[in-house]
Amino acid sequence: MRYRAVLYDMDGTVLDTLEDLKNAVNAALAAFGRPALTLEQVRAYVGNGSRRLIELALGSDAAAEEVDRMLAWYKPWYDAHCRILTRPYPGILSLMERLKAAGLRQAIVSNKPDSAVRALAADFFPGLAEFAVGERESEGIRRKPWPDMLDAVRGQMGLERADCLYVGDSEVDLLTAANAGLRCVSVTWGFRSREQLLAAGAETLIDTPEALAELVLNA
């Protein structure tokens, strides 16, 4: 099968955002008098959007009103500080440039705030990602693992399900791809271990961007 497009998750897939996410969450926790999280805690909590990240950071005893207040504090702070330590993973830019040169279309679909996704994509992937979209539940587009975000981007690109490959790094991505009817490739350099991905049902694991390019171009 010849793919026409590759759709990527952002955090843990094309960008290493973990340090900036940790610093943003801990800044918010400090503002609300809560103890800081470790890097590994934040790694385990990301993937289901900013609200779920804040819920997990605050713990099960937090009231919905506290989650709302902290989320409202966190989002603009992260937007202003999301490009300090964040960088593309080694080989990602070469991968995307190679696929573009071969005629593949590319997009980024993430559960992080839409404003941050657009800003990060503009900074790091200009001319490479045709679309870059984040969480837009206020518009009736449910976040991953619902299929809505992938369906919306695929529709904007005028592509069928068989035209697209989805690339992610977590159990959320695997479930999203299944719900959207897309094949999923799981990368091992992101926020979940190989063992976690296999336990979540991953069937295709990729260890390097170069190997991903070969898989796509030789499909």
Active-site positions read 9
Give the span between the Cα atoms of 12 and 92, in whole angstroms. Answer: 11
Measured in degrees and rounded to the nearest 5, phi and psi for residue 171 equal -65, -30
Measured in degrees and rounded to the nearest 5, phi and psi for residue 4 equal -105, -20
Contacts of residue 9, Cβ cutoff 8 Å, sequence gap at least 6: 108, 109, 110, 166, 167, 168, 169, 170, 173
Give the span between the Cα atoms of 181 and 178, in whole angstroms. Answer: 5
Contacts of residue 44, Cβ cutoff 8 Å, sequence gap at least 6: none
